[in-house]
Amino acid sequence: MDRPAVAVLFGGRSSEHSISSATAGGVLRAIDRERYRVIPVGITRDGVFVLEDDDPDKFALDARSLPEVVDNGTRVLWPEGGADRILRVRHADGVTSELGQVDVVLPILHGLHGEDGTVQGFFDTLGLPYAGGGVLDSALCMDKHFMKIVLQAAGVPVSPWVTVTRERWERDPEGVRADAAALGEPTFVKPARAGSSVGVSKVHDPSELADALRVAFDEDDKVLIETAIVGREIEVAILEGRGGAQPRASLPGEIVLTTREFYDFEGKYLGADGADVVCPADLTAEEITRIQEVGVQAFQAVDGRGLARVDFFLAEDGLYVNELNTMPGFTPISMFPKCWIASGLSYSELITELIDTARERV
């Protein structure tokens, strides 16, 4: 029997384009080639779908030169819908050829126009199976404001926050400052709809608020100001259950900060000193069970599909969910794969799990 074809989709229009491209490098290297036929599809920063080289080294994560998808003149033509599942490509010389049937899409896109339900809705319309989150959970978890509202309504503890729009900050800065002051000090200021710690600042006193808001508003017109919870940063990886089973939680991991104030972009992806990813975390059996239970509860609260990473603060007074990521960092050094590796699932097996779960939904 022919191998199922997997379209690995990466890049995109968001500020996390390079991280998605680096994730593709890891996935292209680890995916089981004996099991699947791979079609790499990149999205340029301008939103053009191109047929990419099947070369993991091209998309290696290098702090000196972050990888990206460039326009090579090709144009990927998605199936026309209905019973059509044939992927086509128009080459730079204008000639169109068939790439064969697509059995499943693996969208490893981060941020807007990829992790927010838009691409998921596109594939739903075409009737193409795809791995990972669906429209609802992707949209909810991309918007931290609505994510917190849903989690809070489900009884999942979240840190106190206030949501501020650019329009309100320009119209009522003193009101915003008063709301921020009520949260105590320090606080975190972050874009509502961005990831990979892009646009996030820690505010120690009121004099830093304006600059932090400016940085966050560069990414989004809606921003959250949150109470900075003092506690350990714990993360757990969730996978959708198969065959009607409940979602599964990995062993938890921990972000251990040494010289960095928080786990920022440089610490996550550029190998900067001051933050270590440790998995499994040093926790009691009771703490592990509680973290796994609340992680699954949060995943179910947002109608989670496929996968998610649930980020916690473990404080003296209990657990707080910071956020859910429906397409978490997926490079080989990222927390999500590390947690599953510690739980007995290899990086390659994890990719297979996501693909096969998507195919079973058909």
Shared domain for 196 and 65, answered yes or no, is no
Shared domain for 192 and 85, answered yes or no, is no
Shared domain for 27 and 123, answered yes or no, is yes
Q: Is the pLDDT of residue 96 over 50?
A: yes
- Has residue 135 been placed in a domain? no
Expressed in percent and rounded to 5, the helix, strand and coil fractions of the chain are 30, 25, 40
Residue 229 Ramachandran class (φ > 0 left, ψ -120 to 50 alpha, else beta): beta
Shared domain for 86 and 204, answered yes or no, is no
CB 211 within 8 A of CB 201: yes
pTM: 0.89
**Mean pLDDT confidence for 7-26:** 93
Shared domain for 214 and 240, answered yes or no, is no
Burial 163-199 (b: 16+ CB within 10 A, else e): bbbeeebeeeeeebeebbeebeeebbbbbbbbbbbbb
Shared domain for 145 and 288, answered yes or no, is yes
pLDDT of residue 271: 53
Shared domain for 14 and 115, answered yes or no, is yes
- Has residue 89 been placed in a domain? yes
Select from 187, 211, 227 the last residue of a domain.
227
Nearest to 314 by CA among 326, 306, 323, 322: 322
**At 216, which helix (H) or strand (E)?**
helix 209-217
CB 1 within 8 A of CB 103: no
- Has residue 17 been placed in a domain? yes
Q: CATH number of the domain that 200 lies in?
A: 3.30.1490.20
CB 334 within 8 A of CB 250: no
Q: Which two tokens stand for residue 281?
A: 């975390």
Percent of the chain with pLDDT over 70: 94
Shared domain for 284 and 169, answered yes or no, is no
The Cα–Cα gap between 279 and 299 comes to 20
Q: CATH number of the domain that 74 lies in?
A: 3.40.50.20
Domain span including residue 96 = 5-130
pLDDT of residue 276: 86
- Has residue 192 been placed in a domain? yes
Q: What is the pLDDT of residues 259-293, one digit of tens each?
A: 645 555 554 554 545 678 899 999 999 999 999 99
Q: CATH number of the domain that 291 lies in?
A: 3.30.470.20
- Has residue 153 been placed in a domain? yes
Shared domain for 278 and 153, answered yes or no, is yes
- Has residue 74 been placed in a domain? yes
- Has residue 315 been placed in a domain? yes
Number of domains in the chain: 3
319-145-162 Cα angle (round to 5): 80
Shared domain for 281 and 333, answered yes or no, is yes
CB 161 within 8 A of CB 227: yes
Shared domain for 75 and 169, answered yes or no, is no
Q: What is the pLDDT of residues 206-250, one digit of tens each?
A: 999 999 999 999 989 999 999 999 999 999 999 999 988 999 999
pLDDT, the chain, mean: 92
Shared domain for 341 and 272, answered yes or no, is yes
**At 349, which helix (H) or strand (E)?**
helix 347-360
Query: Which residues, listed in sequence order, are joined to residue 225 by a DSSP beta bridge?
Result: 162, 189
- Has residue 288 been placed in a domain? yes
pLDDT of residue 82: 87
pLDDT of residue 194: 78
**At 278, which helix (H) or strand (E)?**
strand 275-278
**Mean pLDDT confidence for 85-93:** 97
Q: What is the pLDDT of residues 338-361, one digit of tens each?
A: 999 999 999 999 999 999 999 998
